[in-house]
Structure 1
Amino acid sequence: MLSSFFSKSKPINYIVIALYMTVFFGIAYYKKGLEIKSTPILLATVGLFLYVLPMLALNLVAQKNNLTNKGTFTILLYACLSAVLPNSLTSFYILASNVFVLLALQNILHLRNEKQSKAKIFNASFYIGLASLAYFWSIGFIILVFLGILYFCSKDYRNWIIPVVGISVAFLFANCFTLLVYDSFFAFTDYIDSFSFSFHSYLRKEQLFSVGVLSICTIFFFSIYLIKFGRKAVNTKPILRLVIVYLLVAVGIIVVSPSKDTSELFFIVAPLALMSTAYLEMDYRQFAKEVNLWVFILMPFIILLF
């Protein structure tokens, strides 16, 4: 049974999920029409690694911080929810930005250990800076860094300055790169992206399914998560608040995103996977749980009809 299989954390689970993700990654590029040239194929290969490997980081975030049980539901749901976003899977910059955001989240949650706090704050801020270089509006996730400081190490005033230093270093590295490769500086005006509050593109037939599925999942699982939040122990609530803010910031990025081709929806997949895992791990009928898992697994195949 699926629930029994994915409730465990064995190598075969990761292999099965990675193959599932690879299939939909290939379908996304097939629908886009990948040209048989060395550069596009190389970018697609790197993109596949940027898509599949972060599931390990997400799994570590979930299990090391007791957000979920010791199974693979989270990464399965991450795979299923992301598979309904083919535009995201073919966007190299979105995938790269998502990787850096997850690495930043790892460092933020490690602040609870109260060891090497300054290094972790710097690392998280630096990763957010790199994420914003790939996709500017991911700069909004810097809110998570400041919340991490507030919850875990707010007494030292110097900690509040470090995020600015981390982002500045990322910007400095970008300047060094462009100076070496293109013999020009990376202007601040090139860094800042435009914004738009228009959602007309979401009404297109090829995007409507993806938007509809993730909208329903977000409303439902966010509601369940808020209900369960009140029943959690006080010492775990700061981490749960970070997950909630993670989702809210991702929604904010979607709202201001200039292109709105559904690739920006990818940022809500990780926090949504954590929240939906909390629902799957609730104590209810086994048959219903099996049906839910099959719905999630088969749902991305509907995208082939669009």
Structure 2
Amino acid sequence: MITSVFKKSTPLNYSLVVILILVFFFLFQIQEVSWTSSYFLVFQKISFLCFIFASFFLVNFIIKKNGLSKDNGYAIFFYLLFLLFFPGIFNNPNVLYANFFILLAIRRLISLQSLKASKEKIFDASFWILIASLFQFWCILFLILVFISIIFHVSRDYRNWVLPFIAFLGVASLFLMVSLIFKFDAVEFIRNRAVIDLRIDYFKNNYENGAFSIYVAVALFFVVSMLMTLSDRPQIVHISYKKTVAYFFIAVAVFLISPDKSNDLLLFSIVPLTIMASSHVQYAKQKLNNEIVFYVLILCSLFTFFSQL
């Protein structure tokens, strides 16, 4: 039943997802309502919601535009379900903003397979990743994905290898200019964030621990499914799926080494996992298995969301 609802992209699907986002977002926010007395905090909450919506439609655009999914609504629904695992994301501006800029970069890197305007795409992707790193420093690791994309598509032109460094100089210059205008120490800003912390003992309660454990199990299922069945996918999207797998493991690395660790940092892994989950459902031969995957995932996401309220 669920698979039939999202089997085709329709205005009804998008409307349903938008409504669900609003419902779950406000369910989380009304736990503590002191923010309603401050215009600034109200504006901040609205900005969070805008970035969440923008990320949803950007994910959908990336998947549809690059042929990673057929004309269905699986991607946006999976993205919603994975978000519900970690409702704290709804109140984490740095992670929300950084993830949005990473998505802008991924949009350019995935489309690099067309070989059109490759230099502009490499520069743009590097630029957005470096902007994201100002909000969450270790997002800078996503530059690895830029070089992986260069290797896959345009490695013979040496100028493509230089472009990420030019983007670095551009972002560094802008950042230094901003630091001078607002009078803060740029070096100290970076030094405080360029810290490696491999500890995973941040859980505030058993429900956060449970959400993390269930998410890891779900992620392993879809990653293994992708790796085992990649050869069954159309040849034209093989490289895009390989970049998606690399994207996922880089996101895991960002989570593992970041200081001030929380489940919210797993947001960076949700987009590649969404792509892999959509692919799994799309290419699965048995409809019953798809229904089971959807219902199990819905139950897990709802349980983890409400248990953390």
- How does the TM-score come out when normalised to structure 1? 0.93
How many angstroms apart in 2 are the aligned matches of 1:99 and 1:44?
Answer: 16
Cα 1:245/1:41, change in 2 over 3 Å:
same
Structure 2 residue aligned with 1:39: 40
Structure 2 residue aligned with 1:305: 307
Secondary structure of the structure 2 residue equivalent to 1:69: coil
Q: Is the 8 A contact 2:197 2:257 kept in 1?
A: yes
Structure 1 residue aligned with 2:159: 158
Secondary structure of the structure 2 residue equivalent to 1:41: helix
Structure 1 residue aligned with 2:2: 2
Structure 2 residue aligned with 1:14: 14
Structure 1 residue aligned with 2:173: 172
Q: Is the 8 A contact 1:202 1:260 kept in 2?
A: no
Deviation at 1:258, TM superposition (A): 1.1
How many angstroms apart in 1 are the aligned matches of 2:207 and 2:116?
Answer: 48
Secondary structure of the structure 1 residue equivalent to 2:243: helix
Q: How does 1:24-173 map to 2 (within 5 A)?
A: 24-31=24-31, 34-36=34-36, 37-173=38-174
RMSD value over aligned CA atoms?
A: 1.8
Deviation at 1:233, TM superposition (A): 4.5
Cα 1:144/1:282, change in 2 over 3 Å:
same
4+ aligned runs moved over 6 Å, structure 1: none
Amino acid across the alignment from 2:283 = M
Answering whether residue 279 of structure 2 is matched by residue 267 of structure 1, we say no
Deviation at 1:294, TM superposition (A): 3.0
Deviation at 1:211, TM superposition (A): 0.3
Amino acid across the alignment from 1:238 = I
Which shows bigger deviation, 198-207 or 134-143?
198-207
Cα 1:33/1:141, change in 2 over 3 Å:
farther
How many angstroms apart in 2 are the aligned matches of 1:19 and 1:64?
Answer: 24
Q: Is the 8 A contact 2:284 2:290 kept in 1?
A: no
How many angstroms apart in 2 are the aligned matches of 1:178 and 1:115?
Answer: 36
Structure 2 residue aligned with 1:216: 217
How many angstroms apart in 2 are the aligned matches of 1:262 and 1:294?
Answer: 23
Structure 2 residue aligned with 1:229: 230
Residues 36-75 of structure 1, C-alpha deviations (whole Å, 9 max, x = no match): 2111111110011111221111112112222122111011
Residues 132-173 of structure 1, C-alpha deviations (whole Å, 9 max, x = no match): 011111111111111111111111101101111113322322
Across the two proteins, how many residue pairs are aligned to each other?
Answer: 304
Deviation at 1:264, TM superposition (A): 0.4
Cα 1:279/1:141, change in 2 over 3 Å:
same
Deviation at 1:204, TM superposition (A): 2.9
How many angstroms apart in 1 are the aligned matches of 2:215 and 2:69?
Answer: 21
Q: Is the 8 A contact 2:175 2:186 kept in 1?
A: no
Which shows bigger deviation, 118-127 or 162-171?
162-171
Structure 2 residue aligned with 1:243: 244
Deviation at 1:123, TM superposition (A): 0.6
How many angstroms apart in 1 are the aligned matches of 2:220 and 2:169?
Answer: 36
How many angstroms apart in 2 are the aligned matches of 1:91 and 1:6?
Answer: 29
Amino acid across the alignment from 1:229 = L
Structure 1 residue aligned with 2:208: 207
Amino acid across the alignment from 2:5 = F
Q: Is the 8 A contact 1:88 1:94 kept in 2?
A: yes
How many angstroms apart in 1 are the aligned matches of 2:196 and 2:146?
Answer: 23
How many angstroms apart in 1 are the aligned matches of 2:124 and 2:290?
Answer: 39
How many angstroms apart in 1 are the aligned matches of 2:121 and 2:56?
Answer: 21
Q: Is the 8 A contact 1:25 1:83 kept in 2?
A: no
Cα 1:7/1:114, change in 2 over 3 Å:
same
Deviation at 1:268, TM superposition (A): 0.8
Cα 1:189/1:27, change in 2 over 3 Å:
same
Cα 1:88/1:232, change in 2 over 3 Å:
same
Deviation at 1:237, TM superposition (A): 2.2
Structure 1: runs of 5 or more not aligned:
none
How many angstroms apart in 1 are the aligned matches of 2:8 and 2:233?
Answer: 23
Q: Is the 8 A contact 2:179 2:186 kept in 1?
A: no
